[in-house]
Each structure stands twice: as structure tokens, then as C-alpha cells.
Amino acid sequence: MKYPTTRLRRNRQASAIREMVQENRLHPSDFIAPIFIMEGENKKEEIASMPGYFRYTLDLLGDEMKELMEVGIQSVLLFVKVPDSKKDNEGTEAVNDKGLMQESVRFIKENYPELYVMTDVAMDPYSSYGHDGIVEDGEIVNDPSVEVLAEMAVSHAKAGADMVAPSDMMDGRIGAMREALDEAGFENTGIMAYSAKYASAFYGPFRDALDSAPGFGDKKTYQMNPANIDEALREVELDINEGADIVMVKPGMPYLDVVRAVKENFNIPVSVYNVSGEYAMIKAAAEKGWLNEEEVMMESLLAFKRAGADLIATYFAKDAARLISGK
Ligand code: PBG
């Protein structure tokens, strides 16, 4: 017999056969678009460390929502930038039913009801210390923070949020939120848990975007050690048992093994957060002409699908969806 009889290159000979045997595909509905909102009027500010990504005032949000929907994006994940004068150690503004987050949710659900609205639930943008919980004697205290987070989730649900997305990494917050939501009559409001969120240096540009960098110390007493994966599975298991509807791994590209492990071990939708630093790296290299931005973007997004992610929160959402949909 002539060697070799098996030639894997046969299935790569032409684009038709390559597409026929393609194992994973991206679709606009895979993406969750993070949105940064700030106070004020008629302002759209580019985030210095995130070229091509903007913070919007509420009055300019509509156009962006329209553009996202035109290219087939179905969901947004909202973050707000809070002025220093409204920050404290108790999350007072976070639970203000008339706060910027709550008003933004109301605006989007009134004007674009088909958009699925997710909200960030964490105290850091509201915290005078830039931490995801209440600080006492230099410590981020768990249980009192969970109470605020649960209240925050209810406040977002009241405004009309479809799903709340706790990104804080306090213990027990998913259960507390589920209970608080159910008690308030929001049994259909979902929870996307940032279950395996690592203490990562890739969040730098995001903290610029929201002016939310920790004022002292770091987030290592609540976010996970990048060295661990068994612990990620324990976090996911707890969150599922406490009532999470979707679990998330964050960051994305350096943690594809974690995405795969979560997908293999649990039967639940898995999302991955392609974070600000990952976006910034690609943008910076592309600006220098060192990488082809479009190709590298699509290749990295596809890698999330291959790793097992069902959903991808990414700053590339609009660009990628536009390419895929051809609009
Ligand atoms: C904070 C939060 C962070 C991100 C989302 N929610 C930063 C942090 O934990 O310090 C990072 C997102 C990104 O980098 O794109 N609760």
C-alpha cells in the first residue's frame, strides 16, 4: 500500500470542504457587549488604554444600542463610572434605585426591550477604597458585603435587568442574591456568576475606564490565585448549587484550560470574559502594525468556542458581529 493512505490535508483542499468540516463557529448571539456609562450629557469619551472603546452618557446610549442590534448582538453587560463624590464604604449609591445603573437599565428596556440586559453587581465602582466589598480595618469583610450585593441585585431587577452579573467574588453571594431576588418577586431574573474570577493584571485598562483601581492593596483575598484550577471547579460547583444560571471564567485567553475543565465537569452554560487587557494587547500590537487585528480578533474569539465557552463577553463584540453578519 502506498504510504500514507490517511492524508488529513484532503479535507483542507478548498474552502468548501474546509467549511464543511469546521467544528466550531462564531455567531453574533455568542457575544455579550460590555457597555461603560458615565454621568453627564452628550459625551462619548474614548478610554485611553482601550482604543476604539468608549464611555457614554445616558443620552448617547441609544445610538450604540441600535448599532449593536443591527449587527445581531442580543445582550449587553452594563458598567457605570461613579464620580468620587458618590463613593463611600457602604455602597450607598450602588443600591440607589435612581442611580445611573438603574436609570440606564430602565432606558434600555424601555427603548430596546428585545435587548437582553445584564448588570454588573460589585461595589468597586462605588467604593471609596476601590474594593469589591466593605472595608473594615484594612480587610474586605465578606458577609456585610454580601448583604449590599443582594440589595444591589434587587435594585437592578426592579429597574428591569434581565440578569445580574456579580463580579465581586465574595463567598455565598449567589445564594444570597437568589434568595433576595425570589423574595422580592424576581424569580425570573437570572444570575450570571463570575465564578472563577482570577486576581489578574489583565484588568488594568478596565480600572482606567471606571476609575476603580483599588486604593490600597490588591484583590488577592477574594479573587482567585492564577495558579489554581481545582479551586475554580469548587467555585463553579458552589455557584451552581446556590442557583447560578450561567457561570463565568475570567480572564479569557490565558485561562482556556479552565473554560474547558468547567465545560467538561458541569452541564451549565459557560461564559468567558475576554477582558480589557486582552483587548488592549491586540489593539496595541495592531496599531504598531505587528498583528492583523481582524484576523487575531476572530482567531481568539473562536478559541473561546473551541475551549467550550457558550458565551463570550468581549470588547470586540460589535466588530466581530459585524464581520460575521456581513452588515
Ligand atoms: C470589578 C470588575 C473588574 C472587571 C469586571 N468587573 C475589574 C476588577 O475586578 O478589578 C474587569 C473587566 C475587564 O478587565 O475587562 N468588579
Structural domains of the chain, ranges and CATH numbers in brackets: 24-325 (3.20.20.70)
> Mean pLDDT of all residues in the chain?
97
What amino acid positions are annotated as catalytic residues?
197, 250
Q: How far is the CA of 250 from the centre of ligand 1 (A)?
A: 9
With a 6 A CB cut-off, is 31 part of the ligand 1 pocket? no
Q: Return d(Cα 9, Cα 245) in angstroms, integer.
A: 41
With a 6 A CB cut-off, is 124 part of the ligand 1 pocket? yes
Q: How far is the CA of 79 from the centre of ligand 1 (A)?
A: 10
Among 55, 78, 275, which residue has the most ligand 1 atoms within 8 Å of its CB, making it the best to mutate? 275
With a 6 A CB cut-off, is 122 part of the ligand 1 pocket? yes
Q: How confident is the model at residue 299 (pLDDT cuts 50, 70, 90)?
A: very high
With a 6 A CB cut-off, is 132 part of the ligand 1 pocket? yes
Q: Return d(Cα 168, Cα 155) in angstroms, integer.
A: 17
With a 6 A CB cut-off, is 167 part of the ligand 1 pocket? yes
pLDDT confidence of residue 1:
65
Cell numbers 480572564: residue: 251
Q: How confident is the model at residue 9 (pLDDT cuts 50, 70, 90)?
A: very high
Whole-prediction pTM = 0.97
Q: How far is CA 301 from CA 59, 229, 268, in A?
A: 31, 22, 20
User: Given a cut of 80, is residue 2 above it in pLDDT?
Assistant: no
Q: What is the largest CA-CA distance in the chain?
A: 79
Kindly report the number of other CB atoms within 10 A of residue 19's CB atom: 9
With a 6 A CB cut-off, is 203 part of the ligand 1 pocket? yes
pLDDT confidence of residue 183:
98
The ligand 1 atom nearest the CA atom of 167: 16
Q: How far is the CA of 252 from the centre of ligand 1 (A)?
A: 12
Give pLDDT tens digits for 91-104: 999 999 999 999 99
Can you read off the three cell numbers belonging to residue 111?
427603548
Q: How confident is the model at residue 3 (pLDDT cuts 50, 70, 90)?
A: confident
Q: How confident is the model at residue 211 (pLDDT cuts 50, 70, 90)?
A: confident
Q: How far is the CA of 202 from the centre of ligand 1 (A)?
A: 9
Q: How far is the CA of 230 from the centre of ligand 1 (A)?
A: 22
User: Given a cut of 90, is residue 4 above it in pLDDT?
Assistant: no
User: Given a cut of 70, is residue 184 above it in pLDDT?
Assistant: yes
pLDDT confidence of residue 269:
98
SS3 assignment for the chain: CCCCCCCHHHHHCCHHHHHHCCCCCCCHHHEEEEEEEECCCCCEEEECCEEEEEEEEHHHHHHHHHHHHHCCCCEEEEEECCCHHHCECCCCHHHCCCCHHHHHHHHHHHHCCCCEEEEEECCHHHECCCCCCEEECCEEEHHHHHHHHHHHHHHHHHHCCCEEEECCCCCCHHHHHHHHHHHCCCCCCEEEEEEEEECCHHHHHHHHHHCCCCCCCCCCCCCECCCCCHHHHHHHHHHHHHCCCEEEEECCHHHHHHHHHHHHHCCCCEEEEECHHHHHHHHHHHHCCCCCHHHHHHHHHHHHHHHCCCEEEECCHHHHHHHHHCC
Among 49, 121, 124, which residue has the most ligand 1 atoms within 8 Å of its CB, making it the best to mutate? 124
Give pLDDT tens digits for 127-160: 999 999 999 999 999 999 999 999 999 999 999 9
In the chain, what percentage of residues exceed pLDDT 90?
A: 96
Region 198-227: mean pLDDT is 94
Give pLDDT tens digits for 232-282: 999 999 999 999 999 999 999 999 999 999 999 999 999 999 999 999 999
Region 210-223: mean pLDDT is 93
